[in-house]
């Protein structure tokens, strides 16, 4: 059945006697809200029963498109292009279209962030309109015959960053209240993944932690490998979650030794996997969502109460016995899609089961340790995930300057007060220090995670790392908690600025772009481009200090703008500091 409801055409499943009505339309500050009510006959719902929303708007000034997923293309696709998906464990239902000046032209989102949705926006060639489609299956609403869905549509001429950020705030108002973010969630972290992979032996870990603490890191993250003596990658040995004795003889004592260095200890778990070589495999093999041959492991199905109880018990036992400070909970986005309901399950829909598990697990952990650190990574970065985790990391992109930079800024758009972490920085031991600095400047507006092996690092790389790490720590409030503007997402951002009333921090990522810093008493400009100069417009007279990538002063002087543009020499990987006279 098709029906017209304002700008929408809604197609419902007649077999399920599905009805849809536009219950409310309202305008608030230039933003339109459309609230739909849906009703159906539960007994007649089939696996293919769905509701489909379509609507079109003129493409006037529409140039680029953004969505909050890892490595997304920024171009506007044709309307016959592929769909995106969103559910509690992957992505978020949001698309933003903007112009060449990074101004919003059309941003839409919905408040259903738990159930599985398929959606897209693309060019309708015959009319020059942007056609948007959202599909939602009804079978996942188990035991229900009614739901509501609200569309939020923003066509205001405001910055792209503000348009997307206001969607994130709206989701919070819709009941997806973010978890508490302890101070330690914004402390820089040394990760052992790229530097050591699965070779995490207690003596080497403790020695590297001592070096990391000297450099300025306050948190260590021990990744995959602690639970197995097999170092061939894959997840065949996950599921028992006991330390490999030959690597870590006494986990509690090992964690305590790291604590005495002044570092917090976060431990990795692949939440979903029970490997074929684990002791628990035989018991749980009939409780898998599916088996992944490439991983060598089954994916546990959280719709079974025994699965949820088992996993929560594992984490609580580790917290109690080893005095951990946090957990890196990995592969939650593997819980995606649909699968048949079976005997022994107590929750029919996968998205509901993920919600119950994550709620129960994080509540249990926070009851014992209110400031627990919980790290998630892309793609499980939606608004529901913010209810559980407090550290959100860019997905793996080793030595990828572009993706890491864009990933941090993308996540900052929708994460609000949650801590956004970079993917771990790494480089060859003989890398030029200027390029290491460019990597660090690329993640300036996120929490730095770092995984370059310090044991083999040159003095110059160590010195560069220490300088930029110190800068990020000293200016953490400005960089992480103040207003952030990021420009030209279609170029994976050419520059970005964090500012409050009196000061701002600017990172330049592409040579030749003019950055502006009007009306600030203090300005920091980090040169993350490959040009040895930055182009800036401002007014007034400043005392200027130029430092190279090591933090060494290369020049001091007075700089007067008189409301004009100036080209200023700043070394690659260096820092310009301006103090108004």
Q: Residue 107 has which token pair?
A: 């941003």
Burial 373-385 (b: 16+ CB within 10 A, else e): bbbbbbbbbbbbb
Residue 344: pLDDT above 90? yes
For range 192-201, the mean pLDDT: 96
Q: DSSP secondary structure string, 99-142?
A: -TTSBEEEEEEES--SS-EEEEEEEETTTTEEEEEEEEESTTST
The rounded distance, in Å, linking the Cα atoms of 345 and 93 is 28
DSSP label of 334: G
pLDDT tens-digit profile of 518-531? 889 999 999 999 99
Per DSSP, helices labelled H in 32-111 are none
Query: pLDDT for 46-75, tens place per residue?
Result: 989 999 999 999 999 999 999 998 677 899
User: Residue 546: its pLDDT value, please?
Assistant: 98
What per-residue confidence (pLDDT) applies to 70? 63
SS3 state of residue 558: strand
Please report which confidence band the pLDDT of residue 129 belongs to, taking 50, 70 and 90 as the band edges: very high
Look at residue 159 in the predicted model and tell me its pLDDT: 97
pLDDT > 90 in the chain, percent: 91
Q: CA-CA distance, 162 to 104, in Å (whole number)?
A: 8
pTM confidence score? 0.96
167-171, 231-235, 406-410, 437-441, range with the lowest pLDDT: 231-235
Average pLDDT score over residue span 277-301: 95
Element spanning 435, H or E = helix 433-442
* pLDDT at 487 > cutoff 90: yes
Which of 170, 147, 161 lies closest to 92, judged by CA? 170
Residue with tokens 């952990």: 365
Q: How far apart are CA 504 and CA 482, in angstroms?
A: 9
140 vs 336: CA distance, rounded Å: 12
Report the first-to-last Cα separation within the chain, whole angstroms. Answer: 69
* Average pLDDT over every residue of 77-82: 94
What pLDDT digit, counting tens, does each position of 431-484 carry?
A: 999 999 999 999 999 999 999 999 989 999 999 999 999 999 999 999 999 999
Query: Does the pLDDT value for residue 2 go beyond 90?
Result: no
Alpha helices in 174-242 (DSSP H): 193-196, 202-215
Residue-wise pLDDT tens digits, 370-389? 999 999 999 999 999 999 99
30: Cβ–Cβ under 8 A, 6 or more apart, which residues?
154, 155, 156
pLDDT tens profile 88-128: 999 999 999 999 999 999 999 999 999 999 999 999 999 99
């Amino acid at each position: 059945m098709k029906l017209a409801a304002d700008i929408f055409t809604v197609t419902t499943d007649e077999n399920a006697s599905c009805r849809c009505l536009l219950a409310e339309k309202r305008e608030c500050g230039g933003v339109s809200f459309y609230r739909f009510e849906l009703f159906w006959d539960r007994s007649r719902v089939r696996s293919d029963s769905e509701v489909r929303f379509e609507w079109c708007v003129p493409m006037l000034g529409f140039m680029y498109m953004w969505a909050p997923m890892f490595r997304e293309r920024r171009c506007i696709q044709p309307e016959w292009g592929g769909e995106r998906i969103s559910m509690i464990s992957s992505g978020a239902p949001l698309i933003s279209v903007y112009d060449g000046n990074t101004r919003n032209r059309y941003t839409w989102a919905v408040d259903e962030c738990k159930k599985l949705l398929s959606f897209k926006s693309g060019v309708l060639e015959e009319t020059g309109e942007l056609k948007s489609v959202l599909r939602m299956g009804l079978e996942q609403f188990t035991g229900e015959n009614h739901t509501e869905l609200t569309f939020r549509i923003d066509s205001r001429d405001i910055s792209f960053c503000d348009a997307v950020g206001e969607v994130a705030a709206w989701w919070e108002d819709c009941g997806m209240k973010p978890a508490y973010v302890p101070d330690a969630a914004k402390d820089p972290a040394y990760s052992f993944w790229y530097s050591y992979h699965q070779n995490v032996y207690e003596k080497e870990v403790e020695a590297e932690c001592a070096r990391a603490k000297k450099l300025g890191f306050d948190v260590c993250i021990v990744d995959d490998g602690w639970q197995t003596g097999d170092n061939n990658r894959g997840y065949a040995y996950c599921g028992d979650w006991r330390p490999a004795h030959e690597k870590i003889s006494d986990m509690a004592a090992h964690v305590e030794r790291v604590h005495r260095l002044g570092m917090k200890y976060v431990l990795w778990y692949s939440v979903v996997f029970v490997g074929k070589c684990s002791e628990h495999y035989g018991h749980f093999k009939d409780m898998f969502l599916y088996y992944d041959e490439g991983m060598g492991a089954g994916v546990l199905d959280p719709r079974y109460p025994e699965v949820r109880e088992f996993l929560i018990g594992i984490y609580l036992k580790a917290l109690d016995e080893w005095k951990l400070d946090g957990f890196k909970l990995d592969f939650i986005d593997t819980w995606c899609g649909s699968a048949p309901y079976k005997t022994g399950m107590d929750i029919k829909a996968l998205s509901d089961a993920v919600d119950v598990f994550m709620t129960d697990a994080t509540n249990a952990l926070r009851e014992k340790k209110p400031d627990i650190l919980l790290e998630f990574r892309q793609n499980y970065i939606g608004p529901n995930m913010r209810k559980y985790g407090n550290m959100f990391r860019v997905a793996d992109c080793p030595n990828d300057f572009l993706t890491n930079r864009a990933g941090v800024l993308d996540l900052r758009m929708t994460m609000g007060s949650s801590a956004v972490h970079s993917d771990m920085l790494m480089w060859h031991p003989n890398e030029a220090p200027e390029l290491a600095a460019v990597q660090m400047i690329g993640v300036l507006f996120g929490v730095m995670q770092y995984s370059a092996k310090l044991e083999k690092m040159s003095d110059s790389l160590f010195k560069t790392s220490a300088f930029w790490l110190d800068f990020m720590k000293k200016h953490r409030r400005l960089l992480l908690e103040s207003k952030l503007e990021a420009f030209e997402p279609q170029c994976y951002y050419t520059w970005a600025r964090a500012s409050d009333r009196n000061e701002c921090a600017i990172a330049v990522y592409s040579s030749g772009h003019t950055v502006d810093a009007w009306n600030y008493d203090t300005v920091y400009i980090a040169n993350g481009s490959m040009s040895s100069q930055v182009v800036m417009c401002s007014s007034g007279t400043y005392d200027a200090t130029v430092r190279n990538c090591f933090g060494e002063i290369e020049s001091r002087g007075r700089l007067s703008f008189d409301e004009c543009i100036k080209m200023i020499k700043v070394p690659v990987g260096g820092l310009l500091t301006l103090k108004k006279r």
